[in-house]
Amino acid sequence: MPAPLPEKAPVPEEVEQAPQEEAPALEEPESAAGTGAMGAVVAGLVNSAAKEGVGTGLGVASGGEAVDVKQVSRPPTVLQQVLPQYPRPARSQGIEGLVLVRIIIGIDGRVEPESLRIIRSVPELDAAALAAVRQWRFSPALGRHGRLVRVIVDIPVQFSLK
C-alpha cells in the first residue's frame, strides 16, 4: 500500500535559511525500520511530489535562485539516498513519525547544506533525518528553458518501528 503524501507545508513569505547545525552523534545507530521499502517509498514521494505539485509554493526567482519543483520541465530524481539511522533513545521510547525536510538541490545534483530546513518536526528524530538527507544525490532539475536549475523540494522521512 503506497504511503500517503505529506500535507502541504505552510508557505513562508520569504525563504528562510536555517542556521547550519552539526547533527549530534547518535548512539549505536540502527537503521530506520522498513529500510528496503522506505527507500522506494521516499524516492517515489520525491518524484510524485513533483508530479502532484507538492512543494514549497515559492515562485520562480531570477538570477540562478532556486525554483519550485512544479516549475521545472524535468524534476530531479533520486540517484543515491542514505537511509536515516533510528536514534537509540527514540527507538527505546517508541517514538515514530514523519519529519519533513525542505532542501535545495543544486545544479550539480547535491543538496545545498545551508538550505536544509525542518518543515514538520519530530524533535527526537530531526537530527537523524537531516543527517541522512544531507547526503542524498539527485539528477539535476532542468528548467523550462533547457538549462539546469536549482530546485526546492520537500523530502518526507518516515520513521516507523513496525
pLDDT in tens, 62-121: 337 999 999 999 999 999 999 999 999 999 999 999 999 999 999 999 999 999 999 999
pLDDT in tens, 39-61: 333 444 444 444 443 343 333 33
Region of 63 please: left (phi>0), alpha (psi -120 to 50) or beta. Answer: left
Cα angle 20, 21, 23 (rounded to 5 degrees) comes to 140
User: Which are the contacts of 101, defined by CB distance < 8 A and separation ≥ 6?
Assistant: 116, 117, 118, 119, 129, 130, 133, 154, 155, 156, 157
Q: Which domains does the chain have, with CATH numbers?
A: 30-159 (3.30.2420.10)
Which three three-digit cell numbers place residue 83?
Answer: 537511509
Which three three-digit cell numbers place residue 23?
Answer: 547533527
pTM over 0.85: no
**Of 18-22, 99-103, 123-127, 141-145, which range is least confident?**
18-22
Per-residue pLDDT, 69: 92
Distance CA 70, CA 46 (A): 12
Per-residue pLDDT, 86: 97
Per-residue pLDDT, 125: 98
